[in-house]
Structure 1
Amino acid sequence: MDRNRRTVLGLVLLVAVMGGLSFAAVPLYNWFCRVTGFGGEVSVAEQAPDRVLDRTIKIRFDANKEKGMAWTFRPLTREVELRIGETGMAFYEASNPTDRPIAGQASYNVAPFSAGGYFTKIECFCFTEQVLQPGETVQMPVTFYVDPEIVDDPEASKVHTITLSYTFYEIDLPEGAADGASATN
């Protein structure tokens, strides 16, 4: 009987650990990509470069939600074309159709991966958590540019279209968020 209890306890512990790891997978992956640059992770800057090239590049915008996330989330702009080095801006829209406040955080990546290091964000809703109150709809901007050094990279210089993709996942509400205070930008 003692052996059966140890086996059951071991299996319960294994299920608990695997459940915890699956819950933490999205934030851990997001952190891993930011630290290592894996998966087309973008750069961040305070301002665009002084150099703007005559060559243009298309930027496509994609929106996804983690399974079970109650928000609606979509890009208001599907695609822009801008000169390499030029500052661009696009908006995404998120809505909370529920009767409770929901906090979310966006993870992001760029495809193709070879362009990730050259796609640079200046401002982004993805840098902070977002809290939407019941019935609230917000428009969230992202300001960016494509670094002119992309043309010097043998692989990335062949890229003519970059896709910026976001996935929103639900996080715990910050203190005071249920009282009507909002952490949205």
Structure 2
Amino acid sequence: MAEPRNRYSSVSLYLHWLIAALVVVQVALIMVRDETEGEFARTLLNIHKSVGLGILVLTLARIGWRVANPAIPLPEPMPRWQKLLARGTHVLFYVVLIGMPLGGWAASSAAGRDIIWFGLFEWPALPIGGGRELAGQLMDIHELGAKALYVLIALHIGGALKHHFVDRDNVLHRMIPWIPRRP
């Protein structure tokens, strides 16, 4: 009988950490943009839009990879409620990581604002109207998604640290290659 996998694949690790890094970049971009004005602020916003659409594409790729390569089972002794919380958090991450870029894209489209993807080409607008009013409502939802994302990140990191320092299991080892496996 084959031994169960105890680590995620390189593709899963790469996508996880790349998306995580891009989320940090997004937060930094929007924080700096909020403190600036003029052309520099517009440039940061355009980069923010491009990175957001990149996160959308990478998240869809990650979901596709996850369907083809199911998650490693959580530790047997882990209580059922913790397993449900862990899986629910992951599902909500996917919802937010898809919903936020779609909401930003929809807001730009409703407002008639172009998205030039990293200065390379014009990203197609969604076929929606609504003008500034709808764009504003969509941006309110987009910002609510950011707050939800912060809560999910806190839950995710808190859970990982709990597993490593309190439960002393190998959950964190599965996603961070340089952490040695515990016996």
| TM-score computed with the length of structure 2 as normaliser | 0.27
Kindly indicate which of the two structures has a greater share of residues assigned to helix. 2
Give the number of the structure whose alpha-carbon radius of gyration is greater. Answer: 1
| TM-score computed with the length of structure 1 as normaliser | 0.27
Kindly indicate which of the two structures has a greater share of residues assigned to strand. 1
